[in-house]
Amino acid sequence: MKGASYGGAVAGNGRPSRRLLGLLLGLSLPLAAPACRHSHVSGTTGTDAVLDAFKGAGFDVTQVKVVETDAWTADHCVSGTVADLDVLICEFKTEEALAGGEKEVRHGWDTVNVDTGLVLHNGRTMLAVSDRATRDPNGRVIARLLNAFRALP
């Protein structure tokens, strides 16, 4: 049925019309924008500073993105892959929230059988690193990440 139109949704070439594409784009932008907005927690080492420290240590951090914080009771988190390791960095407003976030990370690791994982705090900023694929069997990469994190004020 080439050229059929369903309320202007399909153009004569069988592709979605510009009107439909414009409508979909217009609807998706307002939904995506609020999900990306997270404010940093004052008085903590920011996730940006941690990522800068990792970059300074020679790591590629381009696969680390802002993520929703609900699972870890945090106020701001980034997560992704650094040197084939899973990395989560979160900022917390309170010590209680930090303890709860660490508990949730460890519980998550238990459910997927993570053999190598660690959590380190720098103030109320938490770094969680796991090596689910055993990419760093001697722990040298993990040690470099930890040293960069520990060196932050």
What share of the chain in percent tops pLDDT 90? 64
Mean pLDDT value across residues 104-118: 91
User: For residue 90, what is the enclosing H or E element?
Assistant: strand 85-91
User: Higher confidence at residue 36 or residue 141?
Assistant: 141
Mean pLDDT value across residues 100-122: 93
Alpha-carbon distance of 141 to 87, in angstroms, equals 12
Residue 38: is its pLDDT beyond 70? no
Model confidence pLDDT, tens digit, residues 42-79: 999 999 999 999 999 999 999 999 999 888 889 999 99
Task: Name the amino acid, one letter, at 38.
Answer: H
Can you list the domains of the chain with their CATH numbers?
A: 1-37 (no CATH), 47-150 (3.30.200)
Closest alpha carbon to 119 in 96, 100, 137: 100
